[in-house]
Amino acid sequence: MLNGEKKIEAPLRWAMVGGGRTGQVGYKHRSGALRDNTAFVLLAGAFDVDFERGKEFGKNLGLDVSRCYPDYKTMFAEEAKRKDGIEVVTIATPNGTHYEIVKAALNAGLHVICEKPLFFETVQGEEIKKLAEEKGKIVGVTYGYAGHPLVFQMRAMVKNGDLGDIRMIEMQYTHGFNSADDVDKTSDAQKWRVNPKTAGPSFVLGDLSTHTYYLSHLICPHIKIKQILCDRQSFIKSRSPLEDNAYCLIRYDNGAVGRFWASSVNAGSMSSQRLRIVGSKASIEFTDTQPNELIYEVQGQPIQKLIRGMPYLYDECNASERLGALHTEGLIESWSNIYLKFAVAIDAKNHKDTKTLETLVYPDIDAGIDGIRWVENCVKSADAGSVWVDFI
């Protein structure tokens, strides 16, 4: 079990762009990255568009104020001058800024961890992938649910044939917090999400569905989407053309089919990310509000509930166990696991340890690009009248 002992020689010198006091997203990054103080150490930041506020914030986090910067460009430039300058930066800014900041970070010789959705276009993703390869750097994407141990149980069960042939993948990521339009007017964190300039070509598809889509890919890496159909709506008219609700139908290359429901107008619903994989013999179902349980239904047998931390789980699952079966894990344990893998990947990259890089399963640049591709194809289908499109 993980207990905080170091997995890399020394913690990586880390900074953030964005993630300041006005939202809680940065706190998830810091809680994940700094969980054990053996993977990352936070040394610098350009946390806020309001420099004074950002500086005070950094100070309150215990940073040296001289390493709180007004913007990412200054930070990259100044840190590059230091012997003990940062090695890796997390980007937790509105979607529309990811591309330029990631590019700048790589050009500044930094490893990068970026919020999802990575960029607006797959071509941007391919360009950045090429740049990262040239620079010998890692780009990680924070699909924050992808570190839950039971997600890796699901992956191992599929791989080991416990479900038989995969027939259906049911995906859902919905909530109801945007059922009325008032939040669009009052919340800074919401305003940019419904503006195409800052949010890109989608709202809930990018903001929500990319999470579950990545999980499905992680769990069933052996099947590929062949065709997709997406119908999207803007129930709050002012959000148009960005959708607050979307339905997708999916056809996979092995004959399996799937569905997605992404919504921020599922009134009254708290977060309800659900993933059900149906095979010819059995199904598994996971929901992020109870990440300590996995439902396993074998046709003709009693319904099973698998509990996180138990010895009967596959090694791939228990490899990231932290607290033991008696104790409840939450979202931050997932983030901690992801950030630990980012650290291991960065360390391996630094040491040209290709073996580790080949076997380590984490949300990398390809996962980021695949998420962009998913949104692109959804939008293409929706904008063509919600018709079937080849997934390219």
Q: How far is the CB of 242 from a second copy (least distance, A)?
A: 16
Q: Find the shortest distance in angstroms from Cβ 291 to a second copy.
A: 6
Which is closer to a second copy, CB of 10 or CB of 80?
Answer: 10
Question: In terms of CB distance, is 98 or 175 closer to a second copy?
Answer: 175
Look at residue 295 and give its three-state secondary structure.
Answer: strand
Is residue 141 helix, strand or coil?
Answer: strand
Decide whether 1 or 361 has the Cβ nearer to a second copy.
1
Shortest separation between residue 360's beta carbon and a second copy, angstroms: 20
Question: For residues 45 and 368, which CB has a smaller minimum distance to a second copy in the complex?
Answer: 45
Q: What is the DSSP letter of 175?
A: -
Contact in structure between 72 and 104 (CB atoms under 8 Å) = yes
**C-alpha dihedral over 117, 121, 123, 128, to 10 degrees?**
-30
Mode of pairing for the β-strands spanning 12-18 and 88-92: parallel
Q: What is the DSSP string of 197-255?
A: HHH-S-SHIIIIIHHHHHHHHHH-TT--EEEEEEEEE-SSGGGTTS-SEEEEEEEETTS
Residue 6 or 130 having the CB closest to a second copy: 6
User: Nearer to a second copy by C-beta: 257 or 360?
Assistant: 257
Q: Shortest gap between Cβ of 221 and a second copy (angstroms)?
A: 20
CB of 141 to a second copy, least distance (A): 18
Question: The dihedral of CA 100, 112, 191, 179: what is its sign?
Answer: positive
- Of 134 and 253, nearer to a second copy (C-beta) is 253
Q: Which strands form 88-92's sheet, in the order they lie side by side?
A: 40-46, 12-18, 88-92, 111-114, 139-141
Partners of 272 in beta bridges: 174
Q: Least distance to a second copy from the beta carbon of 229, Å?
A: 7
Q: Which is nearer to a second copy, 177 or 192 (CB)?
A: 177
Minimum CB separation of residue 214 from a second copy in Å reads 17
Closest listed residue to residue 33, CA positions, set 124, 147, 122: 147
CA distance 89 to 109: 10
How far apart are the C-alpha atoms of 53 and 38, rounded to whole Å? 28
Of the pair 39, 218, the CB lying nearest a second copy is at 39
Least Å distance, CB 98 to a second copy, is 21
List the beta bridge partners of residue 89.
Answer: 15, 112
3-state secondary structure of 95: helix
Closer residue to a second copy (CB): 198 or 386: 386
Least distance between a second copy and beta carbon 167 (Å): 5
Angular region, 140: left φ>0, alpha ψ -120 to 50, beta rest: beta
320 close to 332: Cβ distance less than 8 angstroms: no
User: To the nearest whole angstrom, how small is the minimum distance from the Cβ of residue 83 to a second copy?
Assistant: 20
